[in-house]
Amino acid sequence: MSLSSNAFEDNQVQRAWWKEASVYQIYPSSFKDSNGDGFGDLGGVIEKLDYIKTLGVDIIWLCPIYQSPQVDMGYDISNYKEIDARYGTMDDVDDLIAGLHARGLKFLMDLVVNHTSDQHEWFQQSRSSKDNTYRDWYIWRDPKYDSQGNRQPPNNWSSYFGGSAWEYDSASNQYYLHLFDKTQPDLNWECEEMRSAVYETVRWWLNKGVDGFRLDVINLISKDQSFPDATVLDANQLYHHGCEHYANGPRIHEYLQELGGILDSYNAFSVGEMPWVSDPEEILKVVGYDRKELNMIFNFDIVDMDHGASGKFSPKDWQMSDLKSIVSKWQTFMYGNGGWNALYLENHDQPRTVSRWASDSAEHRTLAAKMFATFLGLQSGTVFLYQGQELGMSNIPEHWEMSEFRDLETLNHWDELCEIRPDDKDLQVITKQQYHIKSRDNARTPMQWNSDNHAGFTTGDPWFRVNDTYDICNAASQVGVPGSPFEYWRAILALRKQMLDIFVYGDFNIIDAEHEDIFAYTRTFKGHTVLVACNFRQHDVDWKLPTDMKLDELLISNYAGAEIDEGIVRMRAFEAFAYIQKDHASLSRL
């Protein structure tokens, strides 16, 4: 398979409803509490459906609400067909589905089937004895013994949440695999009965009225069955990543075609989370239009751009050229190859964009939020917006102490660091700074509805501290207020709908690829061109407009319009705009 561009000339971009849709992601614990217990719930989501509709999205994706011990905030499911009492009841789910459908909105559940909670009945059975019929539903292996006869895990893989990926079970003298927390054992997709049970669960939810799924780490489900040791990249570490043996592993496409066949028969929406795979040819096997696996995937290239040599919590400066080549690669990949992109910058695992890559100062936060809306929202792909992103919410403030953090990834990392390097105070300081930049907790503070107590999120005691910024950044002060990030996002989403041909299906080209401050691109459809330019800096940048470009008719900007003098545009701090080239006047009819 060779990749090409110029889709429209090749006429290969197929139209589909899910390509034209935008998605709003809800983290239920932190969205809206309706019963005063301090946790967001389904009643809270139902209360806010009109808010979501006003924004102009088409679909909501709800992070897991299934029964769960909540070690990993619901990504540890103990029963796929029950709702966690924290969030409400199955009747609430029915009401939510009805409320969404009445408003013409669709509903995505989060499907976590790489692993379950260790409290799931399947695992309880599986660990009860080697002969149990569920034994094979999880991944059990014998220990290894070193030259001194000491018992060791079956291989050197590390868990994403610290330590070995294997947990010892003394009752059977075997280890089970857990790529995430030890309370999240990996399911064994080699086992046909297990797969059938997963497929039955998928059908059960689709029959209930769910319109599709976001599939958690779905590319990790097929592991190399010889479980080889991971390549050692850092000899100072005891355990190593090993993704080369399980990210898009040997049978991934077979499993995804089984699953995709079911989804397709319901015309369901699907987006798969796919860390550690950046090869477009491989991704195309998943999202290729004729492959019937998944509609689209979340790729990690952008959000991993500032992960340092020792992983997420080590610092790394990124260059504009990195971002340009990543965006260009994936935008081009869609054309002529029948692929499709999921566009995102934030989610419940990622920090807030304004703080991470721009500025959350009082002067610049709003401008930066709107600049990112322009940057992302006018690209080609399906747009995913995470709760609070539409308000320009920022990371947790720097003065918050470690005791405020809640996420197990951050807490485990901190415990491990303090244990392994107790005297390295410098490293501890740097790492704490990195938590303030990249911890998942940055995205998980309660949604800021208004300037009342607890930001209007709850009348009780919030499970997680509300960000100090709620008095200046909240929904009540933005909805209907011209110039607010909320209204800006609303305008961007409306623009996509109004000019579908160009913004959803049009061709994409990077302009001025070498420029280190300005991210500019064009969207083109049958000769009609829109120029989008974004200043990623918090200072003025004089940008020489490419000679074949003109700033004729303004479509949208976070300033009143561009300042141009003799072909030089003075791009102000975080300025962003989109202009149509006037000689293509018929564009407005597209």
Q: How far apart are CA 214 and CA 59, in angstroms?
A: 12
Strand partners, 553: 580
| Contact criterion met (CB below 8 Å) for 130 and 118 | no
Q: How far is CA 470 from CA 107, 196, 450, in A?
A: 28, 46, 7
Among 33, 72, 92, 390, binds ligand TEU (CB under 6 A): 72
Q: Which residue matches tokens 């999205």? A: 57
Question: Strand 553-557's sheet: what is its strand order?
Answer: 507-511, 518-525, 528-535, 576-580, 553-557
The letter for the amino acid at 561 is G
| Contact criterion met (CB below 8 Å) for 92 and 42 | yes
The kind and range of the H/E element at 522 are strand 518-525
CB of 78 to ligand TEU, least distance (A): 14
In the complex with ligand TEU, which residue's Cβ is closer, 446 or 506? 446
The kind and range of the H/E element at 438 are helix 425-438
Beta pairing, strands 144-145 & 528-535: unpaired
Within a 13 Å sphere around the CA of 467, how many CA atoms are in the beta-carbon half?
28
CB of 180 to ligand TEU, least distance (A): 4
CB of 346 to ligand TEU, least distance (A): 12
Q: Is 94 a catalytic residue?
A: no
Q: Which of the following is catalytic: 58, 84, 273, 346?
A: 273
Among 275, 339, 381, 388, binds ligand TEU (CB under 6 A): 275
User: Considering only residues 285-314, where is the footprint of ligand TEU by CB under 6 A?
Assistant: 312
In the complex with ligand TEU, which residue's Cβ is closer, 72 or 306? 72
Q: How far apart are CA 22 and CA 390, in angstroms?
A: 13
Among 52, 77, 210, 217, binds ligand TEU (CB under 6 A): 217
User: Considering only residues 311-340, where is the footprint of ligand TEU by CB under 6 A?
Assistant: 312
In the complex with ligand TEU, which residue's Cβ is closer, 166 or 543? 166
In the bound state, the residue with its beta carbon closest to ligand TEU is 75
CB of 201 to ligand TEU, least distance (A): 16
Among 58, 84, 409, 487, binds ligand TEU (CB under 6 A): 409
In the complex with ligand TEU, which residue's Cβ is closer, 268 or 277? 277
Q: How far apart are CA 533 and CA 545, in angstroms?
A: 10
Between 93 and 112, how does the x/- string for binding to ligand TEU read (CB under 6 A)?
-------------------x
Burial class (CB in 10 A: 0-12, 13-18, 19+), 527: exposed
CB of 279 to ligand TEU, least distance (A): 17
Q: By CB under 6 A, is residue 186 in contact with ligand TEU? A: no
Give Dmax (Cα) for the chain. Answer: 80
The kind and range of the H/E element at 271 are strand 269-273
User: Considering only residues 343-402, where is the footprint of ligand TEU by CB under 6 A?
Assistant: 348-349
Number of residues that bind ligand TEU (CB under 6 A): 14
In the complex with ligand TEU, which residue's Cβ is closer, 409 or 487? 409
In the complex with ligand TEU, which residue's Cβ is closer, 298 or 519? 298
Among 39, 180, 357, 536, binds ligand TEU (CB under 6 A): 180
Beta pairing, strands 568-571 & 518-525: unpaired
Length of the chain equals 590
Q: Which of the following is catalytic: 84, 181, 211, 216?
A: 216
In the complex with ligand TEU, which residue's Cβ is closer, 58 or 273? 273
Residue 286: CB atoms within 10 Å = 25
Among 18, 27, 87, 160, binds ligand TEU (CB under 6 A): 160
Among 352, 440, 444, 515, binds ligand TEU (CB under 6 A): 440
Q: How far apart are CA 468 and CA 546, in angstroms?
A: 43
Q: How far is CA 16 from CA 33, 92, 496, in A?
A: 35, 30, 14
**Opening angle at CA 436, ends 236 and 390, nearest 5:** 130
In the complex with ligand TEU, which residue's Cβ is closer, 5 or 278? 278
Q: Is 216 a catalytic residue?
A: yes
Q: How far apart are CA 519 and CA 496, in angstroms?
A: 19
Among 216, 293, 507, 575, binds ligand TEU (CB under 6 A): 216
What tokens appear for 464 in the block? Answer: 């997680």
In the complex with ligand TEU, which residue's Cβ is closer, 72 or 507? 72
Within a 13 Å sphere around the CA of 384, how many CA atoms are in the beta-carbon half?
24
CB of 295 to ligand TEU, least distance (A): 18
Residues of this chain that bind ligand TEU (CB under 6 A): 72, 75, 112, 160, 180, 216-217, 273, 275, 312, 348-349, 409, 440
Q: Which residues are catalytic?
A: 216, 273
